Structure 1
Amino acid sequence: MATRAVRYAVIDAFTDTAFKGNPAAVCFLEDGYQVDDEWMQSVAKEFNISETAFLTRAVSGDNPRFNLRWFTPVDEVDLCGHATLAAAHFLLSYGLVKCDVIEFATKSGILTATKVYGIKQSTLFNVKDENFIKSNGEKESFSIELNFPVCKVVESDPGEIPSIPETLNGASVINVTKRGSSDDHIVLPCPSLKL
């Protein structure tokens, strides 16, 4: 069982405004900090938001790598975009890494987060970097770009498709495909659909 304090933050992904976007908790487990799956699940349940990310340092140096796991309040998941974005933001914004590229070792493979300078508008994060000062003395803004694995998509068997139009309140659907490695369906609604 964990007995030491844990550094954590709740970070709103896909926004630069507090209490907007998609929140994720990020817990940084310092070197040597040992916890089990039950403890992580209990912490995620306590936060009670869609995802809680747990980070541990795997490799230090110029290109740091962190182990990253994601838990909902009820189960561990194999991949979560907004919690990965929150984890990268946490590491970059709190000065825990001094580089522009972070690697995450996950159940879905190696994911990368890259600090990108010079983007005026972003749907991700727009952060003032305390370590990068422009020649006029202003702090440079940066965004975070994520690189995720590509999932193979296959056609869905019509018998496998649940009653999607009913689920979407009668909305028209253009296409339904299935993620090749799971039973997850990907639904492409008509462009005029407002969910």
Structure 2
Amino acid sequence: MDICGHATLASAHVLFSNGLVGSSDIVEFATQSGILIAKRVPEKGSFLVELSLPEILTCEYNSNDVSMFSKALSGATIVDIKGTTTDSAVLKALNGVAKATSTDKIIVVLSSWEAVAELQPRTDDIMKCPGKVMIVTAAAPEGSVYDFCSRLFAPKLGLIEDSACGSAHCALAHYWSLKMNKCDFVAYTASRRSGELKVHYDKEKQRVLLTGKAVTVMNGSVLV
């Protein structure tokens, strides 16, 4: 995986919790996506972790068969389909000229929050759809404390559904920023376990800041 929010968050949490970085509030990880930065954010009696991840840009997606995606999502009404790219030059070339025909991540926008939350995906049909990852999302209803919700399905990668995906929000931040004309969001992952993320999209630095909390559930020892 080029970006794994779970691994980055968990690693930073362990390093901070066990004093393995001294008094530093910042840890930098060298990854396939460049330097990922984790920052300790004090909270009463504990702390949060803010991850600085690279943006993933959304672009027009040339799909001539929306019915394929709708079938995979049990007949859900699809409002929009987007592709993704990490190359801003590619995005500029696509605007008004062409549409992406292949992408690792596909964003499928549904008509309502309820449609995402109550969705019963058809894994076999998702396997037939383009892309390695399918991100399903919708705006939150008026008056909600959240801005949008999402779910992520990646059976091609051996993951039926992710509980809360950090890298997905690198793309969702760009998409919803364009739709809502804002850069700060409270996002909800409508998986069985569910999850909540604070999201800030820094357009100038081309970074997405995700703030969340980790909990240590197991300690172990290795005898050598």
Q: TM-score scaled to structure 1, two decimals?
A: 0.52
Q: Retained in 1: the 8 A contact 2:76–2:110?
A: no
Identity of aligned residues (%): 16
Distance change (3 Å), C-alpha of 1:61 and 1:54: same
Could you say if the C-alpha distance between residues 33 and 7 of structure 1 is closer, same or farther in structure 2, counting changes exceeding 3 Å? Answer: farther
1:84-111 Cα shifts (integer Å, max 9, x gaps)? 211221222xx32122212211244211
Gaps of 5+ in 2: 1-73, 91-99
Secondary structure at 2:214 match in 1:
coil
2:88 matched residue in structure 1: 16
Counterpart contact for 2:164–2:195, Cα < 8 Å: no
Matches within 5 A, 1:109-120: 109-119=195-205
After superposition, the C-alpha distances for 1:107-155 in whole angstroms (9 at most, x for unaligned) are 4421122122543xxxxxx3xxxxxxxxxxxxxxxx4322233242644
Q: 1:56-100: CA deviations, max 9, x gaps? A: 2223369752121111125111122221211221222xx321222
Residues in 2 aligned to 1:116 and 1:145: alpha-carbon distance in whole angstroms: 8
Describe the shift of the 1:84–1:42 C-alpha distance in structure 2 as closer, same or farther (beyond 3 A).
farther
Structure 1 alignment gaps of length 5 or more: 120-125, 127-142, 160-195
Structure 1 residue corresponding to 2:119, chosen from 33, 36, 39: 36
1:56 aligned residue (138, 146, 150): 138
Give 1 or 2: higher helix fraction: 2
**RMSD, matched Cα:** 3.4
**Aligned AA for 2:75?**
A
Residue 181 of structure 2 is aligned to residue 148 of structure 1: no
The answer to whether the aligner puts 1:97 opposite 2:180 as a matched pair is yes
Distance 1:62 1:5, change over 3 A: closer
Q: Specify which structure has the bigger relative contact order, considering alpha-carbon pairs within 8 angstroms and separated by 6 or more residues.
A: 2
Residue 100 of structure 1 aligns with an amino acid whose one-letter code is C
How many residues in Structure 1 have an aligned counterpart in Structure 2? 131
The answer to whether the 8 Å contact 1:6/1:28 transfers is yes
Give the alignment of 1:35-184 within 5 angstroms: 36-39=119-122, 41=123, 44-60=126-142, 65-73=147-155, 75-92=160-177, 95-106=178-189, 107-119=193-205, 126=206, 143-152=207-216, 154-158=218-222
- Larger-gyration structure (1/2): 1
Q: Structure 1's 43 and 157: CA in aligned 2 closer, same or farther, altered over 3 A?
A: farther
Q: 2:78 touches 2:111 (CA, 8 Å); kept in 1? A: no
